Amino acid sequence: MFDTLEQARLSELHVTSDPETQLRAIIAIHNTRLGPALGGCRFIEYNSETDALNDVIRLAKGMSYKAALAGVPQGGGKAVILKPKQLNNRTQLFSSFGRFVNTLGGRYITAVDSGSHLNDMEVIAQQTNHVAGTRNDGGDPSPATALGVLEGIRSCVKSLYGRDRLKGVQIAIQGIGNVGYPLAEMLHAEGAQLTVTDIDQARLKQANHQLGATVVEPSEIYRVECDIFAPCGLGAVINDQTLPLLNCKAIAGSANNQLASDHHGALLQKRGILYAPDFIINAGGLIHVSLARRDVDASTIREKTLRIGHTIDTLLERAQAEGKATSDVANTMAEEILFAPSLPDRQNRDRDDKKESAA
């Protein structure tokens, strides 16, 4: 376990169990150089405790990188609650989780994530002030996430075809939930042609009727011939099994940790598939939550979210110039911010270099 923590450069790991409320939760704090760790609370079933641990570590690291490249004053953290197969009382469970968050004294701020909802955040807020995305500070961040993904897709289209208009662009969306459906609505409004999949049949029917989207089975979404494949569900969907099936020119979606392993980024590059790294393109929700709780006005938040497209432009240009996978370049860009020496350290190093040169 400690090797895993050290490889991820994780700074803190906190675990709690409260049998009375069925709470079993893990909070990972990756990096707080830029500010308190901010990241959602994931509430899903896991096959094992090890899976939950690995998930929270990867998610926390992704949040650090996301905050760094989004330019918000936050560190990276994440929480997972292992969802019981038979839940007795949701309110009691999230109340207990709120008390757990409060014990960390503000080093971690929680928010909505897969499986948790706005009402859960309201429950948590009764136990701690260290929660974001409630009705008091702007509410649901999902539309902001979708807006950022839209701008990232626009940048990918511009890189592929030299234009940023989305009319006629073929886009396959995997998952049309809290982020995927608003994204589909925005894309439809811009004239994109949509293919969608989800396990929620009601959502699929809605997308077909309202947006004219073509519906396919979950296993078929990878094979859809399209310009953009947009993963908007859970992570690790680009893996050894799915990568050979891809029939897209670019991947740009809202899901966290889309690559099952780092080497899949290089494999995408080898296949000529452009990849917009998830922790850049899906940062709209983080921007919204971080700035709304600081009472920043909505227009400023929107303007900063729209700049996600500019960040993707910069990334694609640098990756092309360096001949590297976009995932590797994105990691480097974030690490240059998170792990670079502080200003006094750099000054001391420069002074020592000058001394050695003079000698």
Phi then psi for residue 117, to 5 deg, are: -135, 170
Confirm if 276 and 296 have CB atoms less than 8 A apart. no
Question: Active site residue: 78, 83, 249, 304, which one?
Answer: 78
Residue 78: active-site member: yes
Q: Is 193 within 8 Å of 204 (Cβ atoms)?
A: no
23-31 and 12-18 strand pairing = antiparallel
Nearest to 185 by CA among 156, 229, 149: 149
Single-letter amino acid, residue 322:
E
- Which residues partner with 197 through β-bridges? 174
Give me the DSSP letters along 281-295: HTTHHHHHHHHHTTT
Please, which residues have CB within 8 angstroms of residue 37's CB and are 6 or more apart in sequence? 29, 30, 31, 60, 63, 64, 74, 75, 76, 77, 107, 108, 109
Count of Cβ atoms closer than 10 Å to residue 191 Cβ = 11
Which residues are catalytic, by number? 78
